[in-house]
């Protein structure tokens, strides 16, 4: 019951990330998702390996929060970055894709069906966040939201190795660091983290 509730809180936070425009709010919401995962990992920890996996998630949360905090502080947009789609369309697309994924993917044995649906919903929301945002930082957050869903899936898998959790955490922090470096260079080059400016290669 606790896990199901936390899983749907994760989905709710993902929906909120899709709705907000302010990047500080979006980062706080994604960090909130990571903290929910951390709480779940510690709640379900039974063996030493589980504690190591939970610690890896803690480190991941802290590093990502620090990284995004630094990015926000050091890259001030000189102009407003408008979202690619209006609020209603964004939320509609997120919910629609979530429903499609839930309909397509059969029961797979990740805890209860409700938890599986929450995982698929968060994946869908992350994909839509990345696809509909013009702001580079929002696109990075979309990727992190997708990864958060998959961390939840990994936590629900029986006997998941702490090495896999550690590897996933390391990979995401590395990816976020590289994306952050790109974000900084894009802001320095174009005055804002706006992917609409990255169109010189389009046909």
Partner 1 sequence: MTDHQILAVTSVALPALFACLLMITPRRWMTAVSLASGTATGAIAAAVAAGSIIGYRDPEANGWIVLDAAGGLLVAVVGAVGLIGVWVSPAYLRSVDGPAPRSADSPAPRHRGPRVYYSVFFAFWAILLAVPLIGNLGGAWILIEATTAASALLVGFTGKPRALEAGWKYLVLTSLGLGVALLGIALIAAGIPGGGLGALSWRALATYDAGQQAGTVAYLLLIAGLAAKIGWAPVHNWLPDAHSEAPAPVSAILSAALLPTVLLIAWRCQQGLAPA
Residue 158 CB neighbour total at 10 angstroms: 7
Interface with partner 1, residue 4, by CB under 8 A: no
- Tell me the two tokens of residue 87: 């609020």
Q: How far is CA 152 from the centre of its chain?
A: 11
Nearer to partner 1, 88 or 156 (CB): 156
Q: What is the DSSP string of 118-138?
A: HHHHHHHHHHHHHHH--BHHH
Interface with partner 1, residue 105, by CB under 8 A: yes
Shortest spacing between CB 191 and partner 1, in angstroms? 12
Scanning 13-21, 52-60, 68-76, 169-177 for contacts with partner 1 by CB under 8 A, the matching segment is 169-177
Give 32's contacts (C-beta < 8 A, 6+ positions apart).
13
Scanning 1-9, 23-31, 54-62, 170-178 for contacts with partner 1 by CB under 8 A, the matching segment is 170-178
Nearest-angstrom CA–CA distance, 164 and 52: 11
β partners of residue 62: none
User: Where do contacts with partner 1 occur on this chain (CB under 8 A)?
Assistant: 104-110, 123, 126-127, 130, 136, 139, 142-143, 146-147, 149-150, 153-154, 157-161, 163-164, 167-168, 170-171, 174-175, 177-179, 181-182, 185-186, 189-190, 195, 198-201
């Amino acid at each position: 019951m606790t896990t199901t509730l936390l899983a749907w809180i994760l989905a709710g936070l993902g929906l909120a990330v899709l709705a907000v425009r302010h990047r500080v709010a979006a980062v706080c919401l994604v960090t909130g998702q990571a903290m929910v995962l951390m709480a779940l990992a510690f709640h379900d920890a039974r063996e030493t390996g589980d504690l190591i996996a939970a610690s890896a998630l803690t480190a991941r949360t802290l590093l990502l929060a620090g990284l995004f905090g630094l990015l926000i502080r050091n890259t001030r947009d000189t102009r407003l970055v408008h979202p690619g789609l209006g609020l209603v369309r964004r939320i509609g697309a997120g919910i629609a894709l979530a429903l499609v994924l839930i309909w397509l993917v059969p029961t797979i044995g990740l805890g209860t069906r409700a938890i599986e649906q929450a995982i698929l919903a968060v994946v869908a929301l992350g994909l839509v966040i990345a696809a509909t945002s013009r702001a580079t930082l929002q696109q990075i957050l979309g990727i992190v939201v997708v990864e958060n869903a998959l961390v939840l899936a990994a936590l629900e898998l029986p006997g998941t190795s702490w090495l896999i959790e550690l590897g996933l955490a390391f990979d995401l922090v590395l990816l976020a660091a590289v994306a952050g470096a790109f974000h900084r260079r894009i802001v320095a080059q174009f005055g804002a983290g706006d992917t609409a400016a990255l169109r010189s290669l389009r046909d």
